[in-house]
Structure 1
Amino acid sequence: MQASIETTGTLERRLTFTLPEERLETHIGGRLREVARTARIKGFRPGKIPPKVIEQRFGPQIRAEALDGLLRETFDSAVREHELRLAGNPRIDRAGDNELQFVATFEVVPEFGDIDVAKLEVIRHTAEVTDADIEQMIENLRLQRRTWQPAGRAAQDGDLVTLETWSQAGDERLPAEGVEKGSSVIGSGVMFPAIEQGLVGLSKDEEKTLTVDFPADWRVPQFAGKQVQVHVKAVEVAAPVLPEVDKEFIKSFGVKSGDAEQFRKDIRINLERELKGALMNRLRREVGEQLIAAYASVEMPPRLVENEARSMLAQQVEQMRRSGRDPGQVPDDAHQGFVDAARKRVLVGLLVGEVARRNELRLDPKRVSETLRLIASTYEEPEQVIEMYRNDPQLMGGLQSRVMEEQVIDWIAERAKHTEQAMTFQEAIRQ
């Protein structure tokens, strides 16, 4: 195999390589003969189609597939031969008119030197699910199933207030005419806090004007950074009616027997699963912050950082759309605001991979299966979810990457100087 490597930047490399023509032609010839035995073309008997016809009909596709396969194989072989460790995906282009010669441009993993995790100082948080947490969850489930009835009194925390509002700052009035209609549960945090708390004490058909100071980044540009007079009218005040925790209520959450003890057991399992994930996220952040502090001076692959920043921007834009907010026209350089966070994420990701490589850490299939069962248990048909993952390489690959990262994080935390810090369930899940 002909291959040459050039250093085009601190972490950028350019690899020029040529595909072995003899292997390519041998592979193409073999595939054409295979196709000839099974192909069906009108006017010819199976297995009796002339080679020239097979070549005309299937040759271009087979050649393209063979080139693609041999390209990946040859590139991977050249990378191994030159002992290169890639950071991100390569960009591969043809080198001129020669269909067998290619140029790959890519970034490599930076040199981290000695990675001594024993010097890191990590706080490992611990927590457990208590009976009080289970009772609180049952109360939350009752709130989810609440109904409403006229309160017949002034509004208080937890009430649903149906509203008519209009706001004014100087000559600016919203809406320009009439009122905006809506509703809010006091204490839910849906409305601006000063407005929501201003509803307390209002009775049906009562009106009042609130003086509200909006922050400079308020989502309504006309009122951002201004003091606004908000006129509110309580059209209706409704009080919540919570359901009893009886058999019918319990059955509605999938406990077919309606048994209260089984209901609490199921809730405990779900809360413990949530807690496990929350504690791992805290440990991941803790280890990540320590790694960032220890290796902040190491240069990161620029293109990999930029790609990560663009990915983070895309995720934020998508989240805005899903929540009903219009992200507007996104500037070409909007990703620059994510570069610092992206650099940290890339640094931690590369370090985790390097720790795994140097210490020969391997993916634990048992842990993958346990995690998959845990994920599947949150669905009504767990076996279908497990089958879906096993039949989807992309889904399974993402799961395996997640489990491998958790294994490395655990490995680092066990060997670092660590102290345990107890916290409540509620504190632990508050990210």
Structure 2
Amino acid sequence: MQVTETLNEGLKRGYAITVTAAELESKVSEKLAEAQPEIEMKGFRKGKVPMPLLKKQFGQRLMGEAMQESIDGAMSKHFEDSGDRPALQPEVKMTNEDWKEGDDVEVALSYEALPAIPEVDLKSISLEKLVVKASEADIEEALGNLAETAQDYEARKKGTKAQDGDQIVMDFVGKVDGEAFEGGSAEDYPLVLGSNSFIPGFEEQLIGVKAEEEKVVTVNFPEDYQADQLAGKEAVFDCTIKEVKKPVAAKLDDELAKKFGAEDLAALKTQIGERLEAEYSGAARAVMKRALLDELDKMVSFDLPPSLVDAEAGQIAHQLWHDENPDVEGHDHPEIETTEEHKKLAERRVRLGLLLADLGQKSEVEVSDAEMTQAIMNQARQYPGQERQFFEFVQQNQQMQQQLRAPLFEDKVVDYIFELADISDKEANKDDLQKAVEAMEDE
């Protein structure tokens, strides 16, 4: 077997691999000799089939296996000897397409090698960590928001007309063709106007009603209504309005706290403070991570595989196009061209990705099975009722597993760097943190 270099330009590599006919013949004979003791054939005892007959029967099929194994072996040895790591799947092409048995096999191997990553003095990196405590004002604001979600209603003055957002309490009887239909009647039913919980057009006709008023509402059931006997039919509802109520925020008291699983209002405030500080800590980490990546980007410079940069630039352009055209869900759209801006961002991402991967490998960072399982479960929650199917899909899909593992690995490498870097705490408030986050997102 002969391997000859044909291209060595930057990170691009090319090699011509020749596997001689004699090598292939020897490998086929070796495979036949290995299998011979177990082969049975009519007219011969087990293991006694003559080699020429075996070769005639199985030689052609084994020749294909021998060719593939020889080429794979040559590639593996080349990467082991050279130390090269291909950026993407190497391209392997047979160059003597008119090959016939008895000829040498000639193959062209080409790839882009991953670059050598320079050493980085991680201890020389200085970072600032924003430390934000939950103020009393922050807690009160969050508590007020909770109270709004637990919204209550109180009766309006007698004679006040119902507005959009008000709750009316009513009795109603619905009829189709003069006959009351099943499920079309209720007593003391609370309906929030504007909630769109009734048939289209129903709630709008109740705007302006008053307590103790009777109102006839006429609507048409949608053509695709789930009850076939009502689909597309006109319905008349005789409504008796009992109360008109306006929305009011729930009172900030122990009863509200109990609705959210706390013993009392003081305990709820403590829980809110802890949750807010956890959110602030997460945002501060994101800001510090961006600062770290900016520092690393300044510290290193090395050649980048063009194929990786082009692929990343294409993905960036594609994602940005879909962000600007949210109505287009599929990929049936014009070809998206990459710009210099896309390429510049792609170069940064590829450079940092290769650097973090190298640092993670050298520091033996690994994503555990438990961490992967937790990540899959977190993702599965986005598909209520189909969690098991999603879990099984991920287990059988290597690409999906890599998509989930990659951010976990990156965060663990970042945490490793944080341990070595010089980090100083800086006290800040919520507004400072918000500005830092917005500045990061605008870049």
**1:353-406 CA deviation, whole Å, 9 max, x = no partner?**
22234x342314167247527725855579735555444322222222222222
Alpha-carbon distance change, 364 to 307 in structure 1, aligned in 2, over 3 angstroms: closer
**1:299-331 CA deviation, whole Å, 9 max, x = no partner?**
322232122111211222333443459999756
Partner of 2:75: 75
Partner of 1:314: 318
Partner of 1:346: 350
Pairs within 5 Å for 1:370-389: 371-372=374-375, 375=378, 378-379=381-382, 380=384, 384=388, 386=391, 388-389=393-394
Do structure 1's residue 334 and structure 2's residue 335 form an aligned pair? no
Alpha-carbon distance between aligned partners in 2 of 1:266 and 1:68, rounded to the nearest angstrom:
63
Partner of 2:368: 365
Q: CA deviation at 1:350?
A: 1.3
Partner of 2:113: 108
Alpha-carbon distance between aligned partners in 1 of 2:145 and 2:338, rounded to the nearest angstrom:
43
Instruction: Give secondary structure in 1 for the equivalent of 2:10.
Output: coil
Q: Tell me which amino acid in the other structure corresponds to 2:81.
A: E
Q: Give me the TM-score of the superposition, normalised by structure 2.
A: 0.53
Alpha-carbon distance between aligned partners in 2 of 1:124 and 1:326, rounded to the nearest angstrom:
41
Of residues 409, 415, 419, the one that matches 1:410 is 415
Partner of 2:262: 261
Q: CA deviation at 1:291?
A: 1.3
Q: Tell me which amino acid in the other structure corresponds to 1:318.
A: H
Instruction: Give secondary structure in 2 for the equivalent of 1:105.
Output: strand
Q: Tell me which amino acid in the other structure corresponds to 2:323.
A: Q
- The question of whether the paired residues in 2 share the 8 Å contact of 1:368 and 1:399 is answered with no
- The question of whether the paired residues in 2 share the 8 Å contact of 1:32 and 1:55 is answered with no
Alpha-carbon distance between aligned partners in 1 of 2:33 and 2:249, rounded to the nearest angstrom:
71
Pairs within 5 Å for 1:34-113: 71-72=71-72, 74-97=74-97, 98=99, 100-113=105-118
Q: Tell me which amino acid in the other structure corresponds to 1:13.
A: R
Q: Tell me which amino acid in the other structure corresponds to 1:106.
A: Y
Alpha-carbon distance change, 122 to 91 in structure 1, aligned in 2, over 3 angstroms: farther
Partner of 2:145: 139
Alpha-carbon distance between aligned partners in 2 of 1:281 and 1:319, rounded to the nearest angstrom:
22
Alpha-carbon distance between aligned partners in 1 of 2:271 and 2:95, rounded to the nearest angstrom:
61
Alpha-carbon distance between aligned partners in 1 of 2:14 and 2:118, rounded to the nearest angstrom:
24
Aligned residues: 320
Alpha-carbon distance change, 288 to 129 in structure 1, aligned in 2, over 3 angstroms: same
Partner of 2:163: 150
- The question of whether the paired residues in 2 share the 8 Å contact of 1:124 and 1:420 is answered with yes
Instruction: Give secondary structure in 1 for the equivalent of 2:89.
Output: coil
- The question of whether the paired residues in 1 share the 8 Å contact of 2:84 and 2:113 is answered with yes
Q: Structure 2: 5+ residue runs without aligned partners?
A: 41-52, 154-161, 166-245
**1:224-282 CA deviation, whole Å, 9 max, x = no partner?**
xxxxxxxxxxxxxxxx9578599xxx9xxxxxx96533997998998788667645543
Alpha-carbon distance change, 324 to 352 in structure 1, aligned in 2, over 3 angstroms: same
Q: Give me the TM-score of the superposition, normalised by structure 1.
A: 0.55
Q: CA deviation at 1:339?
A: 0.6
Q: Structure 1: 5+ residue runs without aligned partners?
A: 38-49, 153-239, 251-256
- The question of whether the paired residues in 2 share the 8 Å contact of 1:117 and 1:412 is answered with yes
Q: Tell me which amino acid in the other structure corresponds to 2:300.
A: Y
- The question of whether the paired residues in 1 share the 8 Å contact of 2:132 and 2:281 is answered with no
- The question of whether the paired residues in 2 share the 8 Å contact of 1:283 and 1:409 is answered with no
- The question of whether the paired residues in 2 share the 8 Å contact of 1:122 and 1:290 is answered with no
Q: CA deviation at 1:5?
A: 3.5
Partner of 2:123: 118
Partner of 1:160: none
Alpha-carbon distance between aligned partners in 2 of 1:391 and 1:328, rounded to the nearest angstrom:
28
